[in-house]
Amino acid sequence: MRRLFPLALSVAACTGVIGAPPPPPEAPAPLPPEPQCEHALVPGRPPLHRLTRLEFDQSVDAVLGDRSALAAANFPLDPSHAGFDHVSDVQTVSVLHAERYEEAAWKLAEALWVREFDPGLSKRWEAETRAEDGGYERVQQSCCGSNLYNNVVANGARGFWTAYRIFVQTYLDREADYTVRLSGWAAYPDGGTTTEDGGVRPLNWQVQLDSRYPFLSARVAGTRTAQQLYTATVHVDSPGVHQLDIWLDDETRLSDPPTPPVGWLDWFSIERASTAIATPKVRRCDLATGGAPCVSQTLSALMRRAYRRPVASPEVDAVVAVYDAALAAGDSQAEAFQAAVATVLLSPHFLYRVELDADLTSATPHPVSAHELAARLSYFLTSGPPDDALSAAADDGTLTDPSVLQSHAARLWGSGVMVQNAGAQLMSTRALDTISPSPQLFPTFDAPLKAAMGREAELLFASVFHQPQPMTKLVDADWSYLNDRLAQHYGLPLPGSATPVRVALSNTERGGALGLGSMLALNSTPARPSQVLRGKWVLTNLLCDVPDDPPAAIPPLTTMPGRTARESLEEHAKNPFCAGCHKRMDPIGFALDQYDADGAWRATDRQGQALDTHGQLPDGTTFEGLPQLRTALARDLRFEQCMALHLLTYALAREPKGDDRCQAESLAAKVHGQSFEALMREVVASEPFRMRQAEVQP
């Protein structure tokens, strides 16, 4: 036996005596026991960690500045184990992952090009230079044979002659607003006077896109005046070949057809502004003019951030080689650059958090490198890669100084991402969709109520986790977050708000994790509360004493006329086969029996029988109802040990094994009565967090 458990925390067996002997109710909280783990503990070895969907999106945001959250929408779900969905042990990959990774990589690379590198688009048709163009983008005449439209010298200069409609078919590379300009003049050869009143007939330049209603319609003077510039903007809704038509519209021509008007265009153009943003994440230089050094510099900087460590030049060369090969195969610079970026985003050095052992043959624990440590810290506290300050501390090696490490931990602590992610999983709010009390029995239960319950749980967690509160407030908080709907459901005074607000609770029948409507409803069947599921939730989430699934061939729980649910369960727990788990789970559930399957207070069960909310754990701890149960839990050292184990698991992203439980007890003892932040600092300082050991082949 490498170590002793001061307390029974065995996962595998359901037979242990559970719980530290509680003090008498009036006694002060117990002092933490000295950790009895045998030192030195083994730090263990996190399996190679594949980024989860959340981590992928956070990483893409940090590395590329792209918040499009592609992963969350499209990647396969990350499976959970040991309470969290980022536990490396079970994050596997199969071909569906590969498909989605590849799809995301190309999309992100294209978006990066548009966002940071796009040079814009500008096409200009000059009578002098475009006259002989042979491509599909040449200027054409829509009608009528003769070569009137082109290369007409008038007023001493060449121009497009537009007695008829002229058009071009041109490739526009993306959905955007485009600016069209034309420069020329128009006039009537006959002076343009009407026969009736001698006035000048109105004359308009018209420009249309893809045969839609003209977007440019500009009145011209109607005489051979000096060249004028006309400008208009048009929206192009998809990339591809589009047709631009230009003609002169003589408004009165049909009713009075004398000599048609003539137009002369010196040039016309279409332009799209560059979409490159002013503060790029990736762009370092002008790829169009910077040549090979610019390409290499840009990709190298990108890889440094994507891989969360300095990159060696052969690695950069390999990615540059992808760029070069694409150019050689006829890709545009944009396409080649996107291929290089996609290669980086598909690299195992990006998709996995790689940690290396210098000596694969020695199991001696060693500190992880400064960059590995930076990544551990940032993914622990932000689910994303190190920011600039943390990266700099890794680069200069100062991060391995414990005080520097702690200062960064303090700086990053309390990110919304962590509070939300850890809270949703520890408080089980992701499972809200599976809560479905029977509409026949609970007709007032609806989606807004369920949502209010979810918010209550998240806000309660945040108010304890992120604030300088003792961890135990998670079970015995005397506040909660209610809106009117939820307060009414609980039978509490209405706070007068449709959104959840913090309310002080005057009694202890709500408040804390045990009084959460979401937890109570989740651990119910649609028709009634489940003492077993509630007990199991408390044991699993708050005491880290996970009961096993029932074994095969369990004797059935029978019901008898006149027997309460409690009596049936007590009968069941008499069977030694069942007792190991049920004697731990059921008493907790009994204490919560005053709360119905929809989380509301109830005075009796559905048959009108009184509820007996006394519970007694195998170690002799007794309590009645939620108020005494929460006090007992807050005094139970297993609660803080369990929070330590959860946070250690969350930080290491691996299944707890080996010495981890002992580590957790040791951490909990150091911060007894203190806050989650204090616990986090101990986790960061711990050996499992700062060290690893190689996996030596047996």
Segment 274 to 333, residues that bind other proteins, using CB under 8 A:
318-319, 321-322, 325-326, 329-331
Instruction: Determine, following the binding rule CB under 8 A, whether residue 24 of this chain makes contact with other proteins.
Output: no
Nearer to other proteins, 266 or 598 (CB): 598
Q: Where in 234-253 is the site for other proteins (CB under 8 A)? A: 238-239
| Cβ at position 313, least distance to other proteins in Å | 14
CB 557, min distance to other proteins, A: 4
Q: Give the nearer residue to other proteins in terms of CB position, either 59 or 541.
A: 541
Q: 194 CB contacts (<8 Å, ≥6 apart)?
A: 200, 201, 252, 256
Residue 146 vs 558, nearer CB to other proteins = 558
513-552 residues in contact with other proteins (CB under 8 A) are 522, 525-532, 537, 540-541, 546-552
Whether 454 and 518 have beta carbons less than 8 Å apart is answered as yes
Tokens for 161, please give them. Answer: 């002659």
For residues 339 and 679, which CB has a smaller minimum distance to other proteins in the complex? 339
**Closest approach of other proteins to the CB of residue 378, in Å:** 21
Give me 140's structure tokens: 């054409």
Binding mask 417-436 for other proteins (x = CB under 8 A): --------x--x-xx-xx-x
How many CA atoms within 13 Å lie on the side-chain side of 159?
20
Pick 482 or 647: Cβ nearer other proteins: 647
Nearer to other proteins, 605 or 619 (CB): 605
CB of 541 to other proteins, least distance (A): 8
What x/- string results for residues 150 through 189 when contact with other proteins is judged by CB under 8 A?
----------------------------------------
C-beta neighbour count of 82 within 10 angstroms = 18
359-362 contacts, C-beta under 8 A, 24 or more apart: 359/694, 360/694, 360/695, 360/696, 361/694, 361/696, 362/694, 362/696
Q: Which is nearer to other proteins, 332 or 499 (CB)?
A: 332
Q: Is 502 left (phi over 0), alpha (psi -120 to 50) or beta?
A: beta
Closest distance to other proteins from the beta carbon of 75 (Å): 9
Q: Which residues of 89-120 are buried (b: 16+ CB within 10 A; e: fewer)?
A: ebbeeeeeeeebbeebbebbbbbbbbbbbbee
Q: Which is nearer to other proteins, 333 or 609 (CB)?
A: 609
Counting contacts by CB under 8 A, is residue 13 touching other proteins? no
Candidate ranges 112-120, 181-189, 335-343, 669-677; the one touching other proteins (CB under 8 A): 335-343
The nearer residue to other proteins, 14 or 373, going by C-beta atoms, is 14
DSSP state of 593: T
Q: How far is the CB of 477 from other proteins (least distance, A)?
A: 21
Cβ nearer to other proteins, comparing 195 with 434: 434
215-223, 253-261, 281-289, 688-696 -> range binding other proteins (CB under 8 A): 688-696
Residues between 59 and 88 that touch other proteins (CB under 8 A): 74, 76-85
- Segment interacting with other proteins (CB under 8 A) among 57-65, 353-361, 494-502, 624-632: 353-361
| Cα–chain center distance at 260 | 64
Region binding other proteins by CB under 8 A among candidate stretches 111-119, 155-163, 288-296, 553-561: 553-561
Region 456-485 residues binding other proteins, contact defined as CB under 8 A: none
Among 20, 232, 354, 417, binds other proteins (CB under 8 A): 354
CA–CA dist 210, 170 (Å, integer): 11
- Which residue, 12 or 27, has its beta carbon nearer to other proteins? 12
Three-class HEC string of 207-251 = EEECCCCCCEEEEECCCCCCCEEEEEEEEECCCEEEEEEEEEEEC
Triad 545, 472, 40: Cα angle to 5°:
60
Instruction: Give how far the C-alpha of residue 362 lies from the chain's centroid of Cα atoms, to the nearest Å.
Output: 38
Respond yes or no on whether the N-terminal peptide bond of residue 40 is cis (omega within 30° of 0): yes
565 interacts with other proteins by CB under 8 A: yes
Q: Which residues within the stretch 572-611 sit at the binding site for other proteins (CB under 8 A)?
A: 572, 605-607, 609
CA 258 and chain centroid, separation = 69
Give the separation between CA 636 and CA 648, rounded to whole angstroms. Answer: 19
618-657: contacts with other proteins (CB under 8 A): 655, 657
As measured in angstroms, the least distance from the Cβ of 581 to other proteins is 10
Q: Which of 28, 257, 561, 576 binds other proteins (CB under 8 A)?
A: 561
Minimum distance, C-beta of residue 599 to other proteins, in the bound complex (Å): 16
- Give the nearest distance from C-beta 444 to other proteins in angstroms: 16
Q: Minimum distance between the CB of residue 644 and other proteins, rounded to whole angstroms?
A: 17
Interface residue with other proteins among 1, 560, 603, 610 (CB under 8 A) is 560
Sole binder of other proteins in the list 147, 558, 576, 610 (CB under 8 A)? 558
Asked if 441 touches other proteins (CB under 8 A), the answer is yes
Nearest to 646 by CA among 673, 632, 667: 667
Q: Is 693 helix (H, G, I), strand (E, B) or coil?
A: coil
Spatial CB neighbours of 212, under 8 Å, sequence gap ≥ 6: none
CB of 556 to other proteins, least distance (A): 3
CA distances from residue 504 to 478, 479, 485 in whole angstroms, order as listed: 6, 4, 17
Sites for other proteins among residues 106-125 (CB under 8 A)? 106-107, 110
In whole angstroms, the minimum distance from the beta carbon of 409 to other proteins comes to: 24
Residue 341 Cβ, how far from other proteins at the closest point, in Å? 10
Q: Is 612 in the site for other proteins (CB under 8 A)?
A: no
What CA–CA distance (Å, rounded) separates 521 from 596?
8
Q: Work out whether the CA dihedral 512, 515, 518, 519 comes out positive or negative.
A: positive
**Sole binder of other proteins in the list 218, 276, 346, 451 (CB under 8 A):** 346
Helix/strand/coil for 503: strand
Question: Cβ closer to other proteins: 125 or 350?
Answer: 350
Residue 229, burial from CB neighbour count under 10 angstroms (0-12, 13-18, 19+) = exposed
Name which of 21 and 135 has its Cβ closer to other proteins: 135
Q: Distance between CA atoms of 10 and 7, rounded to whole angstroms? A: 9
Rounded to 5°, angle at Cα 363 from 360 and 365: 110
Nearest distance from C-beta of residue 269 to other proteins, angstroms = 23
**CA–CA gap between residue 302 and residue 297 (Å, rounded):** 9
x/- letters, 84..103, toward other proteins (CB under 8 A): xx---xx-xxxxxxxx--x-
HEC string for 342-388:
HHHHHCHHHHEECCCCCCCCCCCCEECCHHHHHHHHHHHHHCCCCCH
Four-residue CA torsion sign, 202, 205, 209, 210: positive
Residue numbers 34-53 binding other proteins by CB under 8 A: 45, 47-48, 50
**Using the rule CB under 8 A, which residue among 1, 12, 504, 610 binds other proteins?**
12
Applying CB under 8 A, the site for other proteins has a residue count of 111
Q: End-to-end alpha-carbon separation of the chain, Å?
A: 21
